């Protein structure tokens, strides 16, 4: 494990990592347990990736915890997921404070149960001045809904003549996103073998490196995380440029 960390620290570490935490249900079925068992064990993997992120110097970690589509799941499972979220916040808040972690959320938080909203509000307030890792939980989140909201806000500005159409650019659009204080995603990880984005940070991952692994989320540990970062470091991020241009810039 130490060798993996040392290998990572020799090269540039991704500043912002986003993870689609997939496979809890299949992990539970594989182990002959109900779905709730998989979700419960998935919390351990959350702790693992948070600690691993801090160990290698990742500044921003965004976790797809609950999508807008997840509201379509059986009511009993949704209630269980809200209960897990509640327990996580209650148990981990002190640790977040001790480790200087800033908690952040994106998504339609108003749709969450009132007790969850209150816990989140309290946790956000208590960690807002922390300067270490920024941990963002995507809750009741939809990238398409986010982009529709941005389009409406910009349209209202234009209609009220407080914004000229010619002044609309990427920087302006980005400022209306829920993730506007955060940098674009450098590395997007999805577990469980699925190779889809699933309506997650569609704008923010435009130039992200995508990493898909067959590992089910409850089995995703620190070593799995380090392996993903090492794979990221092997890739050449050109952003439309040629390899020669990138090499020339790095040598300057």
CA-nearest of 184, 242, 228 to 250 is: 242
Quote the tokens at residue 42. 């998935």
**70 is annotated as an active-site residue:** yes
Any idea what DSSP says for residue 74? -
Model confidence, pTM: 0.94
- Euclidean distance between CA atoms 40 and 79, whole angstroms: 13
Region 138-152: mean pLDDT is: 98
Is 40's pLDDT higher than 90? yes
Is 245's pLDDT higher than 60? no
Is 251's pLDDT higher than 80? no
N- to C-terminal Cα separation, the chain: 34
- Euclidean distance between CA atoms 183 and 90, whole angstroms: 28
Q: How distant is the alpha carbon of residue 11 from its chain centre?
A: 22
Residue with tokens 């989320």: 217
Residue 1, SS3 per DSSP: coil
Is 246's pLDDT higher than 60? no
Higher pLDDT, 53 or 242: 53
Count of C-beta atoms within a 10 Å radius of residue 8: 23
Please tell us whether the domain made up of 12-141+184-251 is placed in CATH 1.10.150.450.
Answer: no
pLDDT at 247: 61
- Euclidean distance between CA atoms 212 and 226, whole angstroms: 14
Region 47-73: mean pLDDT is: 97
pLDDT at 236: 86
Residue 18, SS3 per DSSP: strand
**22 is annotated as an active-site residue:** yes
Q: What is the pLDDT of residues 119-128, one digit of tens each?
A: 999 999 999 9
Region 74-103: mean pLDDT is: 96
- Euclidean distance between CA atoms 39 and 48, whole angstroms: 15
Is 244's pLDDT higher than 70? no
Residue 24, SS3 per DSSP: helix
In the chain, domain spans? 12-141+184-251
Looking at 70, 108, 130, 199, which residue is catalytic? 70
Region 135-160: mean pLDDT is: 98
CA-nearest of 176, 182, 164, 213 to 21 is: 213
């Amino acid at each position: 494990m130490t060798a993996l960390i040392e290998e990572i620290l020799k090269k540039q570490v991704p500043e912002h990592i986003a993870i689609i935490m997939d496979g809890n249900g299949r992990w539970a079925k594989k182990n002959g347990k109900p779905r709730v068992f998989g979700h419960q064990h998935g919390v351990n993997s959350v702790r693992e990736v948070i600690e691993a992120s801090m160990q290698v110097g990742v500044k921003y970690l965004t976790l797809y915890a609950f999508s807008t589509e997840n509201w379509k799941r059986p009511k009993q499972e949704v209630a269980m997921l809200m209960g897990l979220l509640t327990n996580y916040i209650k148990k981990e808040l002190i640790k977040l404070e001790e480790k200087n972690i800033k908690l952040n959320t994106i998504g339609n938080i108003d749709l969450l149960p009132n007790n969850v909203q209150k816990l989140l509000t309290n946790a956000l307030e208590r960690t807002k001045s922390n300067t270490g890792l920024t941990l963002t939980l995507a809750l009741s989140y939809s990238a398409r809904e986010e982009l529709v909201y941005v389009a409406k806000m910009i349209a209202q500005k234009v209609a009220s003549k407080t914004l000229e159409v010619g002044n609309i650019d990427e920087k302006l659009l980005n400022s209306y996103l829920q993730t506007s204080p955060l940098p674009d995603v450098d590395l997007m990880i999805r577990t469980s073998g699925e190779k889809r984005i699933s309506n997650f940070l569609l704008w923010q991952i435009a130039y992200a490196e995508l990493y898909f692994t067959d590992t089910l989320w409850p089995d995703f540990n620190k070593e799995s995380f380090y392996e993903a970062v090492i794979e990221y470091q092997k890739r050449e991020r050109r952003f439309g440029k040629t390899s020669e241009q990138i090499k020339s810039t790095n040598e300057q």
